[in-house]
Structure 1
Amino acid sequence: MLRIVDTRTGHLVEIPPVRRHLLSICVHLSADEAGIGLGDLRALLVGDVLARTAELHGLQSRTFLTTPDLPHEQARALERAMSALGAHPPATVGVHHPNGTLGAAADVHVHAYGTAAQAGDGGVRIDVGRVGPASREGDVPDRAHLLAPGLLDAAVPEGTDPLAVRMLMLGHAYRAPITVTGTALEEARRTLGDWRQLVADWAQEPSRPIPADVLRHAHAVLADDLDVPAVLDALVTVATRADVPAGAKFETFAFLDRVLGLDLAREVGHQHRAAT
């Protein structure tokens, strides 16, 4: 059973609301003059993780995406940014409509920061917290660059894995505001690199089952308001547990990456190819 807090009521509700095996998700990007920005990308990631979590719990999912009426160049930039961040492409993409017809009957509506509910929206509403890069003067988010065709360019230094942005965002509760700083990005990049190397090392050892307590905990926190930061914390703990064999650590990281989407097995096999 998946439960998430409905912004309208502040209460946990079960999704989907009736016993069936399809979860319908509609992600709403901002329609203001600021255009598509990092907050919109965060909403996309929340929708993506929700869909992945549903699938982990045995549900099929279908995602719709509503956007402003974007110029072709910005629409292509949005597609590239979604791909770079590892978000599964939505089943349907449409422009905001006054009647809110696209995805109106969705089970869950994920709203980027600052978006308003559309007429006809039913289901559960999730409001995603604000996100932005820090200005040079301090930690005040600066949206000035966000109309640029390269949505990630100003937030991700050249040569940085865009999935470090995904990891940074997943490390915060989806309702909490985030300020993207160079320090935070570097920490996410370093952790991501360390985990990939560990996974590659563990993959060389015999496979072992995922510890039952870890699996129960991960399922529970994901099902209870999509607590992805708790999953990341669990991986930190598993990595250092002396009672968990290397093969079990590999299986744990690989399994939970189905939700996290961080490509944690990227380095598996690279040592062998380098040696030959």
Structure 2
Amino acid sequence: MLRIVDARTGRHVEIPAAPRHLLRICVHLPVIDDGIGAVHLRVLLLGDVLARTAELHGVQALTVLTAPDLPQEERQALDRVMAVLGIHPPATVRAHDPSATPSARADVHVLAHGADQQDGVDGVRIDVGQVGTAPPDEGGPGSPDAAVPEADPLALRMLLLGHAYRTPVMVTGAALAEARRTLRHWRQLVADWAQEPSRPIPADLLRRAHAALADNLGSTAVLDILRSVERDADVPAGAKFETFAHLDRVLGLDLAREVGHQYQVTP
């Protein structure tokens, strides 16, 4: 069972309520004034991680995206950004006034912190922390749209997952570079471990990782677990591969991207 802090009460709530086996998620996109910004991406990412976590725990998830009525160009840009960040497309997209009462029934409503929106008539409310971007002269990506790095867009995903979803995040060039380095390093390790005999994930390790995700989507704790697994000489290489591959089902960092590539022979 997943436990999420309801932003309205500050208390943990178990979702979905038994005996249902379908988690209904409604992601509310903030107003888009100057293009798609990092805060929009973080709201979408949180909905994606929630759905992935539910499915990892054997609960089917259905995501509805409510957004301002966007011109076709912005809608296409939104689709492209979701694709490069590994965000699964929602089952339904509905045009909706962000300041109005949520119209979609849901177990969980995901909104940007401070959104000028009345509480939904049902379901848990998750408030996602704000995202800032440092200007180029301070090592940042500049405009909000530029927060998605061209070299490896998933670096932004990793950077955001490295912070509790309620805390504000500052996206800087240095932070994105560090996330890119970690992704390259992990992908190479996963490719190397894939050459070794497969081994089961240690039961205690699997239990801790699942518990972290089930407790308010603890992606930061999961990343810490992966760092400890990387360094743990007592965990066989094959078990490390299975651990990284399994948890990447939620993290969505494409950690197995390099598997087999280093042994390909160019004709």
> TM-score band, normalised by the shorter chain?
over 0.9
Which stretch of structure 1 is more off in the superposition, 31-40 or 129-138? Answer: 31-40
* 3-state SS, counterpart of residue 264 of structure 2: helix
1:175 to 156, 163, 166: 166
Residue type of the partner of 2:19?
A: R
> Which residue of 1 is the match for residue 193 of structure 2?
202
The count of corresponding residues between Structure 1 and Structure 2 is 265
Show structure 1 runs of 5+ residues with no match: none
Distance 1:54 1:100 in 2: 22
Shift of residue 121 of structure 1? 3.8
Judge conservation of contact 1:40–1:113 (CA < 8 Å) in 2.
Answer: no
> Which residue of 2 is the match for residue 93 of structure 1?
93
Structural mapping, 1:49-128, within 5 Å: 49-97=49-97, 98=100, 100-101=102-103, 103=104, 105-118=105-118, 120-128=120-128
Change in CA separation of 1:233 and 1:272 when aligned onto 2, cut-off 3 Å = same
> Which residue of 2 is the match for residue 185 of structure 1?
176
Shift of residue 212 of structure 1? 1.1
Change in CA separation of 1:157 and 1:108 when aligned onto 2, cut-off 3 Å = closer
Judge conservation of contact 1:139–1:179 (CA < 8 Å) in 2.
Answer: no
Change in CA separation of 1:121 and 1:78 when aligned onto 2, cut-off 3 Å = farther
Distance 1:139 1:131 in 2: 16
Distance 2:149 2:207 in 1: 37
Distance 1:170 1:270 in 2: 27
> Which residue of 2 is the match for residue 131 of structure 1?
131
Give CA-to-partner distance per residue, 1:165-202, whole Å, 9 cap, x none. 10000000000100000000000000000000000000
Change in CA separation of 1:156 and 1:141 when aligned onto 2, cut-off 3 Å = closer
Distance 2:18 2:203 in 1: 29
Judge conservation of contact 1:166–1:262 (CA < 8 Å) in 2.
Answer: yes
Does structure 1 residue 236 correspond to structure 2 residue 238?
A: no
Shift of residue 114 of structure 1? 3.4
Distance 1:196 1:202 in 2: 10
Distance 2:149 2:157 in 1: 14
Percent sequence identity is 66
2:211 to 213, 220, 225: 220
Give the root-mean-square deviation of aligned CA atoms: 2.0
Does structure 1 residue 255 correspond to structure 2 residue 257?
A: no
Shift of residue 36 of structure 1? 3.3
Shift of residue 271 of structure 1? 1.8
Does structure 1 residue 155 correspond to structure 2 residue 150?
A: no
Judge conservation of contact 1:208–1:248 (CA < 8 Å) in 2.
Answer: yes
Shift of residue 132 of structure 1? 2.2
Change in CA separation of 1:157 and 1:216 when aligned onto 2, cut-off 3 Å = closer
Change in CA separation of 1:155 and 1:128 when aligned onto 2, cut-off 3 Å = same
Shift of residue 34 of structure 1? 4.6
1:269 to 251, 260, 264: 260
Give CA-to-partner distance per residue, 1:69-106, whole Å, 9 cap, x none. 211111110000000000000000111144532x2x10
Residue type of the partner of 1:194?
A: H
* 3-state SS, counterpart of residue 109 of structure 2: strand
Residue type of the partner of 1:100?
A: P
Residue type of the partner of 1:181?
A: T
Residue type of the partner of 1:44?
A: L
Show structure 2 runs of 5+ residues with no match: none
Distance 1:168 1:194 in 2: 15
Distance 1:139 1:4 in 2: 35
* 3-state SS, counterpart of residue 274 of structure 1: coil
Distance 2:40 2:196 in 1: 41
Distance 1:77 1:124 in 2: 29
TM-score by structure 2 length?
A: 0.93
Distance 1:221 1:84 in 2: 26
Residue type of the partner of 1:155?
A: A
